[in-house]
Amino acid sequence: MSPTATAGTAAAATAATAAERGRAAAPPAHLTMRDALNRALDTALAEDPATLVFGEDVGRLGGVFRVTDGLQRRHGADRVFDTPIAESGIVGLAVGLAMNGWRPVPEIQFDGFAYPAVDQIVNQMARMHYRSRGTAPMPITLRVPSFGGIQAPEHHGESLEALFAHVPGLRVAAPADPLDAYHLLLQSIRGDDPVVFLEPKSRYWDRAPLPEGGLAAAPELPVGASRVVRPGRHATLVAWGAMVRRCLAAADLAAEDGVELEVVDLRWLKPLDADAVAASAARTRRAVVVHEAPLTAGLGGEVAALVTERAFRDLAAPVQRVTGFDVPYPAGPLEPQYLPTVDRILFAVQRTLEY
Amino acid sequence: MPTREPPDPRPHRARPLPPDLARRLYRLMLTARMIDTEAVALQRQGVFPAYVSLRGQEAAQVGSAAAMDPERDFAFPTYRELAVALTLGVDMVGYLASHRALWHGGLYDPMASRFAPINAVVGGPVPHAVGWALGERLAGRTGVAVSYFGDGASSEGDVHEAMNLAGVLTAPVVFVCQNNRWALSVPNERQIAGGSVAARAAGYGMAGVTVDGDDLAAVHDATRAALERARSGGGPTLIEALTYRAGPHSTSDDTSRYRDPAEERAWADRDPLVRTRAALEAAGAADAAFFAAAEAECRAEAERIRDGVSAAPEPPGTDLFDHVFREPAPHLAAQRRVWEEEVR
């Protein structure tokens, strides 16, 4: 069972126990994804003096989502600092710092504001190591609060994974739950290649029970690995970021009808753990890939191709895609109709079962 | 953040260079001119697919780069900085390998050479210089980044972002804008609102200096002063070196479609090599024997570089895959197997 799936139950149990004892609850042994990311950044800053955290409002304010809360106080204003509103400049700064031996962890405040930085991300950050024939180090982790689901203004709900996964020289990662977010971010920072790290902002406040021994004791998967967050045998749901929890919700409902869905959290979107995803699809003989981004040329097409190439003879149905529509990301009341719903996921499952 | 130097976009003038330095820099300028001439010829012979000449900008490049400390400082070029590379001691065969299309960034070691890879996005490297410079300040070191770009690049948003960042972060960086009057086919009047790049420095709270870019001593002196200011914590400087692109934008270009040939003829009188030679002669710093020896030695060096780049081996196909990532990448390993089985 995944940490996410057990989180709600464990939280309820803890609360009940404290209430029964009739005294104030002990400090909750839980943490949110925001907490986990904050702790990962704290760890990275503490373990390597070359690590720098910077971006818009990440210093004194602690970031608009408070992911960098307290880091400037603990590590100093030289290592955790605010920049002007200049996304291209922020990434360009990171490239120059990396060439001078630093390990930059810049933040783009919201997904849609990565577009003004695309030249620096694509033409510079992704290529400088190659252009320099491996001599210029480029260990940059570009954090981008991403995806929709919080009824934010325009340009605050974009899914950029297909854009960046398409770029040679970039790695792309997206965490789905708090405990995994900790290790995924630390692995991204410790790695020596540029990583675009897409944080599902609608999951910042998801809670998970803190394991005994703290965050560092949480299970750590190898770099590049996907994970099965819920085993099943009738069809495989493939997702990343915020859509993993939605797939788990769909799996819960399907289970009531006796349909056992396997849910795979991709975690790394480039390189993508194609063999493991295909192995799951081969086992269940059916796959549905779910993402928030628009359909056409989305990463779901890539997943479908990789699965089909590897598991064609084992598949009982074409890989289905449940995605956002090919429209600009919509405003508040339309957002729930744009994002893949549990119903749409279950309809797609039904199509694969009845194919 | 306290306001630093008041803007000073006035023309910068300097005393003559010490004779030994002037002679050394003249030889670098002459070598750059000869390499450039050989490179144009190599393009005509089909050895280079294309080439971008720096003809006319030798004083701006040699004068500024010679003021740098090659042990501490770091240059961030775009693609027309051949004489900067030469002055900093970059392996020129490796430099020209970029123009022979052997490797986009060049085959020299940019980190060891302290000269970043050749970059074709004209505004792109400017914020890199600011980041590198900030890294020096944070590390408590005293190196200065020198960012080279042109009048065309001055219109790029990245240049604005970089200069503002440099001002806010007090980064030890010197921006050297070589204003060669032409951004491909577009003249200054259609490029620079307000008429001066250096005057923009005021808006970033940094010193701005306009210098005659064909006056070797003036360029050297202005850059030396800017480097000293940056090294001592005084923050960035923007130098606008007014020069002239004597040739076309590239060997694929045709200047007759957009500029008057009379303009090019008029430039010949202010050719920085002619002016530097005249200055050396006027100061009694060099005689006919020096110029004859320089001519022969610089030509021999240019020919050695020409022959070297002409004979340089093509990169192996494995280079396609070898430098994309530092860490293992299974998808690339799989694609490399395809290359081994179906292409090699």
**What is the total count of domains within chain B?**
2
Give A160→chain B minimum CA distance, Å. Answer: 20
pLDDT digits (tens, 9 = 90+) for B178-196: 999 999 999 999 999 999 9
Predicted confidence at residue B93, as pLDDT, reads 98
Give B316→chain A minimum CA distance, Å. Answer: 13
Predicted confidence at residue A4, as pLDDT, reads 38
A248 vs A347: CA distance, rounded Å = 15
User: Is B198 within the bounds of a domain?
Assistant: yes
- In this predicted structure, the answer to whether residue B128 has a pLDDT above a threshold of 60 is yes
- In this predicted structure, the answer to whether residue B100 has a pLDDT above a threshold of 70 is yes
Predicted confidence at residue A8, as pLDDT, reads 40
CB pair distance less than 8 Å for B117 and A136 = yes
CB pair distance less than 8 Å for A88 and B127 = yes
Residues B331, B237, single domain; the answer is no
Give B284→chain A minimum CA distance, Å. Answer: 43
Residues B119, B28, single domain; the answer is yes
Give A247→chain B minimum CA distance, Å. Answer: 27
Of B76, B130, B323, which has the smallest distance from its Cβ to A133's Cβ? B323
- Report which secondary-structure segment, H or E, holds A228: strand A227-230
Q: In the predicted model, what is the mean pLDDT of residues B57-73? A: 98
CB pair distance less than 8 Å for B135 and A135 = no
B58 vs B339: CA distance, rounded Å = 43
Q: At residue B13, what are phi and psi to the nearest 5 degrees?
A: -120, 155
Tokens at A148, concatenated: 């929709």
Of all residues in chain A, the one with the smallest CA distance to B159 is A89
Rg (CA), chain A: 20
B69 vs A170: CA distance, rounded Å = 34
B269 vs B275: CA distance, rounded Å = 8
Average pLDDT along chain B: 95
Of B127, B326, B331, which has the smallest distance from its Cβ to A96's Cβ? B127
Q: Is B84 exposed, middle or buried (0-12, 13-18, 19+ CB in 10 A)?
A: buried
Domain layout of chain A by residue ranges: 29-217, 227-354
Predicted confidence at residue A28, as pLDDT, reads 60
CB pair distance less than 8 Å for A86 and B161 = yes
Residues B112, B206, single domain; the answer is yes
| Helix, strand, coil percentages in chain B from 3-state DSSP, rounded to 5 | 50, 10, 40
Residues B341, B226, single domain; the answer is no
CA pseudo-torsion sign A184, A203, A85, A127: positive
Query: What CATH number has the domain bearing residue B90?
Result: 3.40.50.970
Predicted confidence at residue A14, as pLDDT, reads 42
B142 vs A313: CA distance, rounded Å = 63
Neighbouring C-alpha atoms within 13 Å toward the C-beta of A329: 21
Tokens at A256, concatenated: 């009531």
* Amino acid, res. B219: V
Residues B261, B325, single domain; the answer is no
User: Is B335 within the bounds of a domain?
Assistant: yes
- Report which secondary-structure segment, H or E, holds A44: helix A33-47
Of all residues in chain A, the one with the smallest CA distance to B76 is A96
Predicted confidence at residue A27, as pLDDT, reads 62
B160 vs B153: CA distance, rounded Å = 10
Q: Which of the following is catalytic: A75, A156, A183, A291?
A: A156
Domain range A29-217, its CATH number among 3.40.50.300, 3.40.50.11820, 3.40.50.970, 3.30.70.260: 3.40.50.970
Residues B286, B326, single domain; the answer is no
Residues B124, B186, single domain; the answer is yes
Verdict on whether the full-model pTM lies above 0.90:
yes
B320 vs B104: CA distance, rounded Å = 12
Predicted confidence at residue B268, as pLDDT, reads 83
Residues B216, B319, single domain; the answer is no
B255 vs B264: CA distance, rounded Å = 10
**pLDDT below 70 — which residues of chain A?**
1-28
The residues of B that are catalytic are: 245, 249, 258
Q: Which domain holds residue B157?
A: 19-313
Predicted confidence at residue B13, as pLDDT, reads 73
Of all residues in chain B, the one with the smallest CA distance to A127 is B324
- In this predicted structure, the answer to whether residue B307 has a pLDDT above a threshold of 50 is yes
Q: From edge to edge, which strands make up the β-sheet containing A195-200?
A: A80-82, A51-55, A103-107, A141-146, A195-200, A171-173, A268-270
Residues B166, B280, single domain; the answer is yes
Residue numbers in B near A274 (CB within 8 A): 331
Tokens at A126, concatenated: 């992704």
Cα A262 to Cα A129, A254, A323, B313: the distances in Å are: 38, 11, 18, 53
Instruction: Tell me whether strands A80-82 and A320-324 are parallel, antiparallel or unpaired.
Output: unpaired
What residues form DSSP beta bridges with B75?
A: B115, B146
ipTM: 0.96
User: Is B4 within the bounds of a domain?
Assistant: no
| The CATH fold of domain A227-354 | Rossmann fold (3.40.50)
Q: Would you tell me how many other CB atoms lie within 10 Å of the CB of residue A218?
A: 18
Residues B45, B62, single domain; the answer is yes
Residues B189, B64, single domain; the answer is yes
A21 vs A12: CA distance, rounded Å = 14
Residues B342, B245, single domain; the answer is no
- In this predicted structure, the answer to whether residue B166 has a pLDDT above a threshold of 90 is yes
CB pair distance less than 8 Å for A96 and B135 = yes
Predicted confidence at residue A29, as pLDDT, reads 86
The distance in angstroms from the start CA to the end CA of chain A is 29
